[in-house]
Every structure is written in C-alpha cells, then in structure tokens.
Amino acid sequence: MPGPLLDTLKGSTQNVAPVWLMRQAGRYLPEYRELRAEKGGFLELVYDSEAAAEVTVQPIRRFGFDGAILFSDILIVPHAMGQGLEFLAGEGPKLSPTLLETELDSFVHAYERFDPVYETVRLTRAQIADTVTMLGFAGSPWTVATYMIAGEGSKDQGPARLLAYRDPSRMQAICDAIAEVSIEYLRGQIDAGAEAVQLFDSWAGSLAPDEFERWVVAPNAKIVAAIKQSHPDVPVIGFPKGAGAKLPVYARETGVDAVGLDETLDPAWANSVLPDGMPVQGNLDPLLVEAGGDALPKRVETILEAFKGRPHVFNLGHGIGQFTPIEHVEQLLRAVRGE
C-alpha cells in the first residue's frame, strides 16, 4: 500500500519528509512501561503477538508516525537458532552458551519462535492506516555475531573482532549461518505484511577497512540480493552505524535501496558523497531530542535543508533514549512538519 514513507524509500521526494524514529516503541512511553510491567518482561512482550502489536501501534496512535516498526529485537534470530536468550532488568541481553564456549552446530534450532513475530506483523498491519508503512527488520550478521560470540554487549566488540582475525573461516561460517536464517526471517515478515525492511548494523563502526568489506559489506549484500530475488519491490534500508567515511562504499556495494545515517555524519557531506537520488534516512542526535530547547528545531532545519531535493525519511541517528520527554518528541515533529 502506498504512503509517504514507502514512496520515499522507492525514490520519490515529498514536500514534508515522512518520519519515524528508531526505538519509537519503548520505555520513554508510559503506555509501553505499563504493558511491559503487566507482561512481566521484554521477551514475554515480544512473543505475545497481541501485546507486541499493541506496543507497535502505541507510538503511531500518539504521534502519527509514517511508519510502524515491528516490535521485536535483533536477538530473536540467535534465539531461534537455538542460543539461550534472556533480558535481565538493567543489564541488557545475555546469550548462552556463547560461541566462545561452544560451536554453532551444537545449537538445536527453534525456528517456530519466528511464528509469533509474523503474527505481530499481521495484527499490526490490520490495525494501522493504509498510508502508514509497516517496517520489518533484522540485525546484520556482524552485529548479531558480536552478541552471539560475547554473549552480551561488549566493549568495542573485541571478542568478535579477535575471533574474526584468529579464525576467519569460523567467523565466515557464523556470519553465513546468521545471514541464511535472517533471509528466511525477513521473507516471513514481508509475507506477513512488512512493506520495507531495515538491516541494523549497529556495530559496523568498529571494523578496520578490509574487515568492514568482509563482515559488513559482503553479508549485507548477500541478504539484499536474496530479498531482491524473492521480493524485488520491497525496499531494503541499510543502517551501518558508525560507518563514517566507509558510507559511500556501503551504499554502492551492498545494493540497499536506502541508507540510514547515524548522528555523527554531516548531512551535507553525506548528501555530497551518496549516489544521486538514493533515499536517505536520519540523522538527528537522539540526545538532542532528550535535551530539547532551541537547538532541536534548528538542527532539524539543517538536516532537512541538507537533503532537500533527495528522497529523505526523517529519523534519529540511533534509537530514542528511555529518558526522552514526550514533549520533546512533539517539538521534533512540529519542526519536521513545519507546524
């Protein structure tokens, strides 16, 4: 179904940039905190399709965003591959056993864990307006691998980077396996109603140039090619957070339709190095939304100005923080919409 967000991802420019925010469904919303407390935990929420659809719709109801991003997590893929997954309050995710402790082929896969996620997509699609774009997502193999290897978030992704140097063929097997499962998972989301998908490569920024080619560009290119083969009309957004100067290479070589920009990139620079007409998404600093004040609408204006004439989806450079005041999100939306 067409809508300003989907149209932009397919290459058309709009008078008013469509907008959605990474992590738009989450802890900064009181209605999310309430439902999460009722369900008892994050994973309980994700695997309860009705609750997850409700959480997906909450920010659309409140703010009228142009896109609804499936409420789930990138670590559902390792969970379905058979790795243990827990979210401990205040500590973030824990995966066990880690790929430092065991081999990938010791995991007993549980792909049925994807079924409630597909159901969330179907339930959400039925609740939102036709003009609101349903977004699916997966983590990119490198970013997902950093968690599978370390078992948790790790400083500078050191354990995964070391493994990639010490045993590149093992790292290759891990990234290939994640890519293969992610392709099926994304196809399942699309078949359930996702109209565009985003690949989150949140830790792309920690790799040296050759490593970036091998563990970021190549696996993302493989996923994009597979999606293009089965679902040629579904736009793929790539988000290589921290790519910096490697952004144009990523944009050219992965085959993604649109690129998400983090807040460290100068939008005027990004505009000058990206292929003409390629849609971009971003790139307001989430901490500026948390801070608020006059600098917020000013920065929004700078970003809109830099991407004038190019298909542009307004978004943040990373997920919205849990302590962001709701009024600041409203202020942001007024600035984007010129109200």
- Is there a catalytic annotation at residue 27? yes
- Is there a catalytic annotation at residue 337? no
Q: Which of 73, 201, 262, 285 is catalytic?
A: 73
CA triplet 182, 90, 81: central angle to 5 degrees? 20
Q: How far is the CB of 239 from ligand CP3 (least distance, A)?
A: 8
What are the tokens at 107?
A: 């995991």
- Is there a catalytic annotation at residue 36? yes
| One-letter amino acid for residue 338 of the chain | G
Q: What residues are paired with 238 via a beta bridge?
A: 199, 259
Cβ within 8 Å of residue 5, ≥6 positions away: 18, 20, 66, 67, 132, 133, 196, 313
Q: Which is nearer to ligand CP3, 187 or 310 (CB)?
A: 187
Binding site for ligand CP3 (CB under 6 A): 22-27, 36, 42, 69, 71-75, 87, 92-93, 137, 139, 153, 200, 202, 319
Q: How far is the CB of 272 from ligand CP3 (least distance, A)?
A: 26
Q: Which is nearer to ligand CP3, 36 or 161 (CB)?
A: 36
Q: Which of 7, 23, 118, 250 is catalytic?
A: 23
| Nearest residue to 130 via CA among 193, 72, 188 | 193
- Is there a catalytic annotation at residue 73? yes
What are the tokens at 1?
A: 């179904």
Q: Which is nearer to ligand CP3, 13 or 290 (CB)?
A: 290
Q: How far is the CB of 141 from ligand CP3 (least distance, A)?
A: 13
- Is there a catalytic annotation at residue 33? no
Q: Which of 32, 47, 147, 250 is catalytic?
A: 147
Q: Which is nearer to ligand CP3, 53 or 306 (CB)?
A: 53
| One-letter amino acid for residue 246 of the chain | K
Q: How far is the CB of 318 from ligand CP3 (least distance, A)?
A: 6
Q: Which is nearer to ligand CP3, 31 or 297 (CB)?
A: 31
d(CA 201, CA 49): 25
Cβ within 8 Å of residue 214, ≥6 positions away: 164, 168
Q: Quick check: 110 and 80 in contact, CB under 8 A?
A: yes
Q: Which is nearer to ligand CP3, 196 or 306 (CB)?
A: 196
Answer positive or negative: Cα dihedral of 200, 204, 209, 215. Answer: negative
CA triplet 138, 296, 131: central angle to 5 degrees? 45
Q: How far is the CB of 294 from ligand CP3 (least distance, A)?
A: 27
Name the residue whose CB lies closest to ligand CP3: 202
User: Taking the CA of residue 280 as centre, how many other CA atoms within 13 Å lie in the half-sphere pointing to its CB?
Assistant: 32
Q: How far is the CB of 54 from ligand CP3 (least distance, A)?
A: 13
Give the active site residues.
Answer: 23, 27, 36, 73, 147
